[in-house]
Structure 1
């Protein structure tokens, strides 16, 4: 009687193969061989800690490996989900597979109480069935991947399942599948396309920058900033968002974000840094000073109109706070000791600001 997919079965470790195209692998490591994957997982994925846990407690049956039959080799299965766990077990059984951290791996294997020779697997008929499941589990579910891994997975999903519909509509459909918002999917997909342009340029030969050290959120968060989008030539509402891409400006931004000078980059890609950069890009004088005169992002930001807006907002916020304090002052039972000094300080600062304003106005009076 033919078994109905998916079904659970214990499979010998010798019959399980690592997925060489796993989206969690950096592109530079994909499609190589098991030796490359094992080396990467040892160096970057805390595999030794997992070896220790499995060696001490055994393989947790509740964490099934998700596999599909290898069509090129009889009785072999490719592990689509669970490659780190499979690597840990393989190294417990065969520590000689390690090409890095050899001493540590051998020691862990020697001291282990458990060396599983087979593990429980959930066998699927086709890889696509697993990928759809992983879409929710790893994009919006409890076992979230790094952003670059998410974006790479969604890009592969779009190419595989939604190539015949428009980009905008594909974002809507993918969002339904993974239980997310279409604007988030859109920013991930566009951000990944920008990343691929940078990767294709060998990361502009910036020292230390590669696919394992690139922060994709710099792109995805930047796509919420109008001035940065225009600077890059990205139209997020188009079915071809990168049609007008400005590769010269793309290179500039990557250098600003990632090239280190005395251990510091010119602009941080966090929310504060992107706010500063967006304001500077939106002001031609500030941008020119930042690009050509070597001013810091903070100095350039002070040249933007955004400082005027911030000044007004802070004054209005302060006024609102004082008005609120005034409204409840008649209900205060005991005024705090420093109140008088604080009020004097407020008056002093207000007069100082007003005097400075009058001075600026007088300087501009040509009469």
Structure 2
């Protein structure tokens, strides 16, 4: 039996929350994690909204939990591998209905509308033979589907498929309905996160909470070159993305992109990630970042020549405005205000032209024709 085609029913007390659930966070998962700990971690997952829905509409069979029969805490139990949030909502609701002292919100829910006993006695579930039998469903639902996990949770799940199930990038892609480059980048990003975690100089909490920024940064040539990461590496070669001799660069990278307990990151917005990659391609800009105690993103970007397109845009816009003014300026040849404005424009233009001496000669020659 891979996946049972029939829905079964059991008491909420016979169903166990999954201690391997990626949503609990990397530091909170493992077969020894207690159910009470899991409940505490899930307390703030807006479970009360689900509880109210259960009381008003019941637990629909089409939302049946997916469970696997596993040994947990030394005994064989039904562990929920899909639907942990729904199960936790039921467990909190039952505690409130039984009169246990929990959050006031739960007490108010059961006082307003007492839940029917059948809600806790007949919980629908479908049993699967093993976690592998439901991997594709979980991947599609939570990595690319409508109930997405957070970026770090997605990457961790992909890593488990690659390392635990020994799947290739292409095989994972087919399971979860994503694209192979996306799978590869998620895996390498996750392995980089684990590598950063080993460094005392990196505030890993800051990195993990902005994992999507880490993911985006790896697509830039500048980050790949600065960290010497092979973004096309196969799983065996990607387990340690940054070579040992470039760990100092990795610490710098994490500080600039994510900050620390005492320093804010220089990249303040995810929209600056591509520009950050451009900065890391410039030797002069990187030298500035590495040697300055409080570097500025704007200064580094300028040193990298990143503001050239903006300067060109400003000059183009000024030229367009002057051309538009010239079509009517002759009507106001005696205007003192126009003369003053023209003088300022002339001074600025002369200063700009001084950057290109040969251009001045070309313009004079062109006018003489």
Q: Which has the higher helix share?
A: 2
Work out whether residues 91 and 109 of structure 1, in 8 Å CA contact, stay in contact via their aligned partners in 2. Answer: no
3-state SS, counterpart of residue 149 of structure 1: helix
| Aligned position for 1:131 | 135
Contact 1:10/1:119 (<8 A) preserved? yes
Q: What is the match of residue 91 of structure 1?
A: 92
CA distance in 1, matches of 2:10, 2:104: 29
Task: Establish whether residue 69 from structure 1 lines up as the match of residue 73 from structure 2.
Answer: no
| Residue matched to 1:328 | none
Residue 237 of structure 1, CA deviation: 2.0
Contact 1:257 1:265 in 2 (8 A): yes
Aligned length: 334
Please list the CA deviations of residues 49-75 of structure 1 after superposition, one character each: whole Å capped at 9, or x if unmatched. 322332343323331111122346778
SS at match of 2:21: coil
Match of 2:155 among 139, 147, 151: 151
Larger Rg: 2
State the Cα distance separating 1:82 from its structure 2 match: 0.6
> Which residue does 1:288 correspond to in 2?
287
How much does 1:172 deviate? Answer: 2.1
Task: Give the alignment of 1:187-336 within 5 angstroms.
Answer: 187-201=185-199, 204-205=202-203, 209=205, 214-239=209-234, 240-241=237-238, 242=241, 244=243, 246-259=246-259, 264-268=264-268, 270-272=270-272, 274-293=273-292, 294-312=294-312
Q: Deviations over 1:5-57 (max 9, x none)?
A: 242111211110111101222011112111111111113x2123322332343
Change (3 A) 1:203 1:285: closer
**SS at structure 2 position matched to 1:20:** coil
Q: Distance in 1 between matches of 2:98 and 2:40?
A: 9
Deviation string 1:225-280 (CA, Å, 9 cap, x unpaired) is 111111122111233241626221222222223336899532135022x1232222
Q: Does 1:113 align with 2:117?
A: no
The aligned counterpart of 1:336 is: none
Q: 1:193 to 1:262 in 2, by over 3 A?
A: closer
Match of 2:351 in 1: 356
Question: Do 1:147 and 1:216's aligned partners in 2 also have CA atoms closer than 8 Å?
Answer: yes
The normalised TM-score by structure 2 is 0.77
Shift of 1:128: 1.1
Structure 2 SS opposite 1:7: coil
Q: 5+ unaligned residues in a row in structure 2: which ranges?
A: 325-338, 358-369
Instruction: Calculate the aligned-residue CA RMSD, in Å.
Output: 3.8
Once the two structures are TM-superposed, the CA of residue 176 in structure 1 deviates from its matched residue by 2.1
Structure-2 separation of matches of 1:202 and 1:282: 26
More deviation, 283-292/86-95:
283-292
Provide the TM-score with structure 1 as the length reference: 0.77
* 1:104 and 2:100 correspond: no
Question: What corresponds to 2:333 in structure 1?
Answer: none
The answer on 1:13 being equivalent to 2:12 is yes
1:66 touches 1:122 (CA, 8 Å); kept in 2?
Answer: yes
Aligned: 1:58 with 2:53: no
Deviation readout 1:78-119 (Å, 9 max, x if unpaired): 100011110110111114999996333333344343252121
In structure 1, runs of 5+ residues without a counterpart are: 164-169, 326-343, 363-367
